[in-house]
Structure 1
């Protein structure tokens, strides 16, 4: 496939998708088997074993999930995202960025997060963006620059955070329509979703939404404001009515961890049309961070075990769930610092992670590649993974001494727009948590043998780990 252009692959792909829709259950199996053959040398053959098993087993909950999704979702939107994911981000992008990583000796991300604006119409407890107000924005041309330069390196997936990205919905739709070879996802509180935006979203192309929700009406409104839960449910129902592709973004804390992992919560998401749920551990970032929201080891273990039980192919819940803090074994640990992603804030500062507010470069002054080769990002490149136990992936939350060393060595500056804090101040808020989570993480990690074939494609250097331990 090396000599076949992406345009030709898309033409072939569109014909194949029309073929799939004629008889989804029979023809999807044939399509996956073709992909298994075509993707040799890019992904291990085992990557395709699970999809084949799902398609062949009618009693597998993911069988129902797959084919009900194909039937319900907007056909053109699903086709566009499926082909862009497989061809541009998966085949072309992965091939390019792996080659560039080796050539340039730096991390090249699969996805980039950008904050179009710091503006938000809510003020959620524990959210650093709530402190910033309507102070800063990335211009449309600045976001175009990031996308253009990133695509040259092999990145074809972009996410919008904030602030509330849909404050800039017209600019987002422009970016999506201009870049049909990319996938876009916006994290949103859902309060600005309406019928017109849903139709515009489908016309623009490859755009999905992740709606923030914190469990029950009580737990959501307690953190996000009275009446917000009802608005989010309304947004989900509107998106479902228009057959749009969307899911949820869930921040779990010591206060809501049971609510957001309950059967009732999962059933609510599924009933209202969400096809994925992304779970994020609360991070004590910002001057008003509440460390009481950090989970105890037992509470985090509950999240770990409950979410994995919900994925069970026979007795689970049919919604694609990722628990970013507890699923490190599937991606080789920390994915920040450009290893799989990085973050550009609304001031243009390039940060290793959406939760790590330190930077030594700005997209207004440097190219994407120059930022990836900066001292701060190079320390991530050398140091990952920050722990051999992938239940302790983060250089801040579970290994706070690592972030202190990195920031002090590189001279990276705090990018907190209101109240800059030193790495020592930030990581001090995590020290007690890290100390008490470590033995529980060891206990869980050693329950079984851990290995996943995807990890072989990440660059982990022994010298980097040794330097962090000095």
Structure 2
């Protein structure tokens, strides 16, 4: 699509959203029908849709919006009530149209041409600095004195937009140590969405007002459970600071949710009705659940879940998402949702990570790189040996509930690192791929039987495992 045509389409879609939201405020039924018509008009099925019947994600969205009884229809109405109109419209335009539709089509075209992975999202660290010292934080492995310059961040986004990426996740360190620079970046790239993972301690009304004005910032607050569990890991008083940050974000009508690392110690608490009701009441709209990864020489493998505990998470997150659950809340569990996203999304297949030193890594948990933004481009990294080693092996297991080349398939990552000769990017205490994956072997072996059972129960069949034995 030409630049002029794209700008015109975006403008017409924006005008349509303005009218739909206006109608929705007066009559939700009429407004939702308007939104459904916009989805049908501007998000047509493409050759890259996975559904064999020609339906894409947006087709399912249209069906939900037309059904007054649907949980997700009520969820959309809840967003309209709680989120600033500029923020909500910009999120739809950037995340759904620019990233999820137009950009996604471009990246698929490029993947066919280049025969390599092209990411849907790029996660990068504006800084390695942090005002907290959380136990087991993987970011601490990098050191605390690194920063991407404003020019670096601008170059990352410009390169990403060129290949169809319009969704950027910011972590660190604590990214809001650079909050003024983030506002500048978001303002400079109005067609991209910037999603910030933060401990919440630096969120103020003044910053939120600036975020509302640019419109293309959303947030995930890191939390580990209720006050006692959270403060044991993140420091005394951190839970109250998170609650305060939620109040500020909600008061300013910004879009936000939570980011949770679950372990064998907290997995039930962070998915309990009591916990979810608490964060929903505070204004949270979603949860990103991340399985604990034993990254770093000082990591504690004992925090890994048992097969029964992970199976509980598998079923519980699906229950939260179901139409039968009355909570207007969306949850995703990247490790257990592998069957919906074709396994591992790293290595540029759907995302990649750039640390505060500029190293382009396949995953936020895999600290190896053969390309740095100061000597190469994002596109060059995707075609270099490390990312191509990911590309040629994905999916790493036919059972997509065993997605990771480290956690569930610990023989694969050492192969990739040996083949690509990618050095460690860990500036504190470099860890070999063999040492990292050795911590996962027992876990992978134990999980395989449970994963096979769940895979069969989900209606899948066939041999579990990629070519060869990937657990040993």
TM-score (norm 1): 0.93
Task: State which drifts further: 6-15 or 328-337.
Answer: 6-15
Equivalent position of 1:275 in the other structure: 285
Cα offsets for 1:51-72 (capped at 9, x unmatched):
2343233333322211021122
- Verify: 1:23 aligned to 2:23, yes or no: yes
Q: Which residue of 1 aligns with 2:5?
A: 5
Task: Give the 3-state SS of the residue equivalent to 2:440 in structure 1.
Answer: helix
Give matches, 1:106-121, under 5 Å: 106-121=116-131
Query: Which of 61-70 and 436-445 deviates more?
Result: 61-70
Deviation at 1:92, TM superposition (A): 2.2
Taking the aligned partners of 1:132 and 1:103, their CA distance within structure 2 comes to: 35
Task: Select which of 336, 341, 361 maps to 1:331.
Answer: 341
Alignment coverage as a number of residue pairs: 457
Deviation at 1:30, TM superposition (A): 3.7
Equivalent position of 1:455 in the other structure: none
Q: Following the alignment from structure 2 to structure 1, what is the Cα–Cα distance between the partners of residues 3 and 141?
A: 50
113-122 vs 83-92, which moves further? 83-92
Q: Give the direction of change, closer, same or farther, for the CA distance of 1:358–1:9 in structure 2 (3 Å limit).
A: same
* Partner residue, 2:36: 32
The superposition leaves residues 318-360 of structure 1 with CA deviations (integer Å, 9 ceiling, x where unpaired) of 1111111000111100000000000001111111000011111
CA contact (8 A) 1:246 1:276 kept: yes
SS in 1 for 2:219: strand
Question: Using a 3 Å threshold, how does the CA distance of structure 1 residues 101 and 302 change in structure 2: closer, same or farther?
Answer: same
Q: 1:96 to 1:157 in 2, by over 3 A?
A: same
Gaps of 5+ in 1: 452-464
1:224 equivalent in structure 2: 234
Q: What's the RMSD between the two structures over aligned residues?
A: 1.9
Q: Which deviations, in whole Å up to 9, do the C-alpha atoms of 1:411-465 show, x marking residues without a partner?
A: 11111110101100000111111010000111111103259xxxxxxxxxxxxx6
Could you tell me how far apart the structure 1 residues matched to 2:235 and 2:318 are?
A: 30
3-state secondary structure, aligned to 2:123: strand
Aligned-partner SS, 1:222: helix
TM-aligned CA deviation for residue 91 of structure 1: 2.8
Map 1:194-213 → 2, pairs under 5 A: 194-213=204-223
Distance 2:215 2:19 in 1: 21
Residues 32 and 66 in structure 2, CA contact (< 8 A), matched pair in contact too: no
Unaligned runs of 5+ in 2: none
Matches within 5 A, 1:64-463: 64-450=74-460
Residue 29 of structure 1: how far off its partner (Å) = 2.7
CA distance in 2, matches of 1:339, 1:75: 33
Structure 2: distance between partners of 1:381 and 1:131? 26
* CA shift for structure 1 position 48: 3.9
Distance 1:3 1:166, change over 3 A: closer
* Per-residue deviation, residues 291-333 of structure 1 (Å, max 9, x unmatched): 1111111111111111111112133421111111000111100
**Contact 1:309–1:316 at 8 Å: present in 2 too?**
no
**Alpha-carbon distance change, 262 to 139 in structure 1, aligned in 2, over 3 angstroms:** same
Helix, strand or coil at the partner of 1:343: strand
Q: Distance in 1 between matches of 2:418 and 2:13?
A: 49
Counterpart residue number, 1:462? none
- Kindly indicate whether the alpha-carbon contact (under 8 Å) linking 1:338 and 1:352 is maintained by their aligned counterparts in 2: yes
Q: In 1, distance between residues paired with 2:280 and 2:404?
A: 30
1:94 to partner: Cα distance? 1.2
1: CA distance, partners of 2:450 / 2:101: 38
TM-score relative to the length of structure 2? 0.93
Q: After TM superposition, give the deviation of residue 145 of structure 1 in Å.
A: 1.1
Deviations 1:19-41 (A, max 9, x none): 21133232333432443354122
Instruction: Tell me if the contact between 2:320 and 2:330 (Cα under 8 Å) persists in the aligned partners.
Output: no
Contact 1:329/1:450 (CA < 8 Å) preserved in 2?
no
- TM superposition shift of 1:80: 1.1
Once the two structures are overlaid, the 10-residue window that deviates more, 123-132 or 227-236, is: 123-132
Contact 2:258 2:287 in 1 (8 A): yes
Q: In the aligned structure 1, how far is the partner of 2:32 from the partner of 2:69?
A: 17
CA separation of 1:176 and 1:3: change in aligned 2, threshold 3 A = closer
Q: Secondary structure at the match of 1:286?
A: coil
